[in-house]
Structure 1
Amino acid sequence: MTFAIDRKYLGVAFACASYGIYSLTYATVKWLEADYSLWQLVFMRSVVMLLITLGVSHRGTASAAIYSPQRRSMGFRGVLQFLSMACFFLAARELPLSVVTTLYCTAPLIIVVLSVFVLGERVHGYRWLALLVGIVGSVLAANPGGALSPVPSLIALGSGVFWALTVVYTRKSGAQDSSAAQLLVTGAVFTLGSGVLMTWQTPTTLWQWGLMIALGAQIYLAQYCFLEACRWAPASIVGPLEYTSVVWSCLLGYLIFADVPTVQLLIGAGLVCASGVALALSARGGSRACAA
């Protein structure tokens, strides 16, 4: 029993690390997107991630991924994740980022619902309450305003739906293959998809080359931590911890872009933190869904 609880907390730690690194990746993309297309940045980070994965993996990982009985499942998971990212940035072209973020933050609620019906995980009443507090905090932090455009709004909501499906699907099949094999397949999907859509512009400085390479290292660490989080903790815990991304975004926005957070944003971030801590501590409740 003690081991099961420790496993859940290990999953929580991996999840928090993953979402923090993802936020750093978004900040790096924002820094570079003024000069380069989004799809070129995604392509570069995917290629670097593939090279890192091959370099640190055991011999035979590529063959294991190619001949795995779960290769179609891993490929499908990669497609879901790619669609989530594509929907997010397509919606961000038409809507304020705060609105897109608010609609995307419906993903944790969808994850909890799917984890009950798809994975058979038990979610107690107080965890639903903590989840709703996190949603309220996300709305306050994003501070949406103005009329919403129907089609872009549906696309932004689709980003949350696709991410929720990614989390639940990873939890359902993630323990059947190594994290390295899953990273290889996901990286291949992202490389192929972004390679078809990108327009290439050669970086002019070593600093820009370095940032693009850093994107690959960041996404490798973020994906690895995410896969390990889904391996050790229930999806209904891993998903809601994504609310911590709001806190990371506030901190990175202040340090890198000098964005001073408002009082409303700080209140929302506080609710987000409270929700995440409550959901993490609820691992003591003894849910058996984390059994391998």
Structure 2
Amino acid sequence: MGIFCILLSGLCFTGMNTFVRLSGDLPTMQKVFFRNFVAMIFAFVMMVRKKDSFRPKPGNMKYLLIRSVGGVAGMVGNFYAIDRLDLSDASMLNKMSPFFALVFSAIFIKEKVRPKQAIAIVVAFLGALCIIKPTFANANLFASVCGFLGGMAAGGAYTCVRYLGLRGENGRLIVFFFSAFSSATMLPFLLFNYHYMTWQQWATLLLAGACAAGGQFSITAAYTHAPSREISVYDYAQVIFAAVVGYLVFGDVPDVLSFVGYAVICGMALWMFFYNRKADGTAPAKKV
């Protein structure tokens, strides 16, 4: 179940990123608002249909807030990078989030990280540097750093999702709370810096929001049903989806260093996945 959910989330988030970029030259905050507002409506309707409570379980409010702050920061960084980098570059920098989720899970919820896993995290960081290319000659350096920091923030958010799942919180409430929080956070930026949108831009942002809702529900289900070490490798399927869509839709062709970075990060993810299977003696995902 966890594997299926995380693959589905990759497809949905690739669709979201594509529609966000197709929406054109709009402020990042405006894109974030509409993406989350649509997702909030989807989550609200699903909660009403399921007759879910909108009240978090005792003690979970602070973790919902932390998850939401991290999610907003991650999304702003990701959207900023999407508008300025190749789609696959932006997606790969955001896919540093599983490595950060592993680190944060070890620190805050005491999920064990073995020495070889720590090595994989360090090497993956070096792979990210190949994509970022931290030199003053890189005109997209700031966008690359924003994408990387967005991945870090998203990793923290997914750690909170995992912890909330362990505490028995409803996944639909997690999605609704995050979407409502991020919409409220972005509203002042929208009011003071609103840019007129054509009907095509309205359509692309509505589709981005619909894809985001599917992605949020899928990834929330994945991280609440399985530890990050069991499913994180499958999250990298999104980079493949993004590379194909980026080439077909936008004509994106990453440079050699970016491909080296992809290979390093994906290689470390695969190595960590198979190492975990061997060390734990378990199947790649839990049945639920």
Aligned to 2:277: 284
Using the TM superposition, give the Cα deviation of residue 111 of structure 1 relative to its aligned residue in structure 2, in angstroms. Answer: 2.8
Deviations 1:194-218 (A, max 9, x none): 111113345333x433222111111
The 2-side partners of 1:47 and 1:104 are apart by 22
Whether the aligned pair in 1 keeps the contact of 2:247 and 2:253 (CA below 8 Å) is: yes
Aligned to 2:208: 215
Aligned to 2:179: 187
Using the TM superposition, give the Cα deviation of residue 226 of structure 1 relative to its aligned residue in structure 2, in angstroms. Answer: 1.2
Amino acid at match of 1:46: N
TM-score by length of 2: 0.76
Aligned match for 2:55, one of 66, 69, 73: 66
Aligned match for 1:146, one of 135, 156, 165: 135
Gapped regions of structure 1 (runs ≥ 5):
1-9
Amino acid at match of 1:71: M
Determine what percentage of the aligned residue pairs are the same residue. Answer: 18
Whether the aligned pair in 2 keeps the contact of 1:131 and 1:279 (CA below 8 Å) is: no
Using the TM superposition, give the Cα deviation of residue 291 of structure 1 relative to its aligned residue in structure 2, in angstroms. Answer: 11
Using the TM superposition, give the Cα deviation of residue 184 of structure 1 relative to its aligned residue in structure 2, in angstroms. Answer: 0.9
Aligned to 2:227: 234
Whether the aligned pair in 2 keeps the contact of 1:17 and 1:222 (CA below 8 Å) is: yes
Aligned to 1:204: 198
Deviations 1:119-166 (A, max 9, x none): 2223334444444454444443x2514238999998666534422221
What is the SS of the residue equivalent to 2:55?
Answer: helix
C-alpha change, 1:157 and 1:273, in structure 2 (3 Å) is: closer
Is 1:32 the counterpart of 2:23? The answer is yes
C-alpha change, 1:96 and 1:143, in structure 2 (3 Å) is: same
Give the RMSD, CA atoms, in angstroms: 3.8
What does 1:66-85 correspond to in 2, within 5 Å? 66=55, 68-69=57-58, 70-85=60-75
Whether the aligned pair in 2 keeps the contact of 1:21 and 1:222 (CA below 8 Å) is: yes
Whether the aligned pair in 2 keeps the contact of 1:243 and 1:272 (CA below 8 Å) is: no
Select between 194-203 and 217-226 the one with higher mean Cα deviation: 194-203
C-alpha change, 1:109 and 1:283, in structure 2 (3 Å) is: closer
What does 1:1-292 correspond to in 2, within 5 Å? 10-34=1-25, 36-57=26-47, 58-61=49-52, 64-66=53-55, 68-69=57-58, 70-88=60-78, 107-140=97-130, 142=131, 144-147=133-136, 158-175=149-166, 176-198=168-190, 199-205=193-199, 207-238=200-231, 242-285=235-278, 286=280
Amino acid at match of 1:172: Y
Whether the aligned pair in 2 keeps the contact of 1:12 and 1:238 (CA below 8 Å) is: yes
Amino acid at match of 2:178: T
C-alpha change, 1:135 and 1:237, in structure 2 (3 Å) is: farther
TM-score by length of 1: 0.76
What is the SS of the residue equivalent to 1:33?
Answer: coil
C-alpha change, 1:275 and 1:24, in structure 2 (3 Å) is: farther
